[in-house]
Amino acid sequence: MKKKTLCIISTLVVIVAMCLGGCGDKDLAVSSDLSMAGDVQKYVDALDMEYAYDLAETLSYDEEYWDNELGWRTAGSDAEHRCADFLTAEMEEIGLTDIEKVGVTVDKFQFNDSSFTIDGTKIDLMPAAYQCSGTDADGITAEIVNCGDGTEAAYDGKDVSGKIVLIRVDQANVGWIDSYIRMAYEKGAAAVVSYASSGYGELNKDTINVQDICCDDLIPTVAISANQAKKIKKAIKNGSNQATLMVDVVFEKGGGTSYNVVGKIKGKSSDQQIMITGHYDKYWYGFQDDSAAIALDFTVAKAMIDAGYTPENDIVVVAHGSEEWGASDSQFDWTTGAWEMIDKVHPEWSSKTIALLNCELPAFEVEDMKVVSVPEFRTLVNKLVGESGLVVAAEGTTLDAKSVDATNMEDGVSYRWHGTPYFINGFEGTSFMAERYHTIFDDKDTWNEATMQTNLNWYGAFAIYIDKTPALEMDMTCTCDDLEANLAPKIAKKAGVDVDAYKAEIKKMRKAAKHLNAQIDKVNTAYEEAVAGEASDEEIAKLREEGKALNQKSLATFKEVQNQYLKADDCGVYIGHPTLNTNAKILKQTIAALDKEVLWGDDGDGALDIIGNLNAYHDWAYYSFSKKVGDDINVQYDADKVSRDLTFWATDKLVPVTYVGDMSYELYHAEESDVDFEAAKSVYQTALDELYGHIKVYCDQEVAGMHTLAEMMK
Quick: pLDDT tens for 679-690.
Answer: 999 999 999 999
- pLDDT at residue 23, rounded to an integer: 36
**Domain end: 443, 468, 493, which one?**
468
- pLDDT at residue 255, rounded to an integer: 87
Whether residue 328 sits in one domain with residue 214: no
**Does any domain span residue 227?**
yes
> If pLDDT is split at 50, 70 and 90, which confidence band does 27 have?
confident
Neighbours of 470 (CB within 10 A): 24
Whether residue 528 sits in one domain with residue 407: no
- pLDDT at residue 8, rounded to an integer: 28
**Does any domain span residue 245?**
no
Whether residue 475 sits in one domain with residue 457: no
Mean pLDDT for 686-695 is 98
Whether residue 62 sits in one domain with residue 197: no
Angle subtended at Cα 223 by Cα 125 and Cα 112, rounded to the nearest 5 degrees: 65
Separation CA 577–CA 407 (nearest Å): 15
Mean pLDDT score of the chain, rounded to an integer?
Answer: 94
Whether residue 216 sits in one domain with residue 269: no
Interval 431-451: pLDDT, tens: 999 999 999 999 999 999 999
Q: Is the pLDDT of residue 593 over 60?
A: yes
Structural domain span for residue 638: 471-714
**Does any domain span residue 3?**
no
Separation CA 661–CA 232 (nearest Å): 35
> If pLDDT is split at 50, 70 and 90, which confidence band does 4 have?
very low
Is the distance from CB of 578 to CB of 558 less than 8 angstroms?
no
Neighbours of 104 (CB within 10 A): 23
**Domain end: 442, 468, 494, which one?**
468
The H or E element that residue 146 is part of is strand 140-146
Mean pLDDT for 561-585 is 95
The CATH number of the domain where 156 resides is what?
3.50.30.30
**Does any domain span residue 248?**
no
Interval 477-516: pLDDT, tens: 999 999 999 999 999 999 999 999 999 999 999 999 999 9
> If pLDDT is split at 50, 70 and 90, which confidence band does 429 have?
confident
Whether residue 519 sits in one domain with residue 667: yes
**Does any domain span residue 204?**
yes
Separation CA 357–CA 672 (nearest Å): 54
- pLDDT at residue 7, rounded to an integer: 32
- pLDDT at residue 82, rounded to an integer: 98
Residue 697, helix vs strand vs coil: helix
682 φ/ψ sector (left φ>0, alpha ψ -120 to 50, else beta): alpha
- pLDDT at residue 10, rounded to an integer: 31
Q: By percentage, how much of the chain surpasses pLDDT 70?
A: 96
Separation CA 230–CA 205 (nearest Å): 10
Interval 251-300: pLDDT, tens: 999 889 999 999 999 999 999 999 999 999 999 999 999 999 999 999 99
Q: By percentage, how much of the chain surpasses pLDDT 90?
A: 93
This prediction has a pTM of 0.94
Whether residue 307 sits in one domain with residue 282: yes
Q: What is the longest distance spanned by two Cα atoms in the chain? A: 87
- The region of weakest confidence among 75-79, 395-399, 569-573, 704-708 is 569-573
DSSP state letter for 5: S
> If pLDDT is split at 50, 70 and 90, which confidence band does 96 have?
very high
> If pLDDT is split at 50, 70 and 90, which confidence band does 6 have?
very low
Whether residue 141 sits in one domain with residue 104: no
**Domain end: 239, 263, 280, which one?**
239
What is the domain count for the chain?
3
- pLDDT at residue 316, rounded to an integer: 98
- pLDDT at residue 585, rounded to an integer: 98
Interval 632-643: pLDDT, tens: 999 999 999 999
- pLDDT at residue 116, rounded to an integer: 98
Whether residue 177 sits in one domain with residue 135: yes
**Does any domain span residue 74?**
yes
Angle subtended at Cα 439 by Cα 436 and Cα 440, rounded to the nearest 5 degrees: 105
The CATH number of the domain where 79 resides is what?
3.40.630.10
**Does any domain span residue 9?**
no
Whether residue 642 sits in one domain with residue 622: yes
Residue-by-residue DSSP string for 555-623: HHHHHHHHHHHEEE-SS-EEESSHHHHHHHHHHHHHHHHHHTT-SS-TTS-SHHHHHTTTTTTGGGHHH
Mean pLDDT for 296-316 is 98
- pLDDT at residue 16, rounded to an integer: 29
Mean pLDDT for 125-146 is 97
Is the distance from CB of 276 to CB of 436 less than 8 angstroms?
no
- pLDDT at residue 644, rounded to an integer: 87
Whether residue 229 sits in one domain with residue 304: no
For 521, residues 6+ apart whose C-beta sits below 8 A from its C-beta are: 1, 2
- pLDDT at residue 571, rounded to an integer: 83
Q: Alpha helices of 307-356 — where are they, by DSSP H?
A: 336-340
DSSP state letter for 73: B
**Does any domain span residue 690?**
yes
Q: Is the pLDDT of residue 1 over 70?
A: no
Whether residue 451 sits in one domain with residue 321: yes
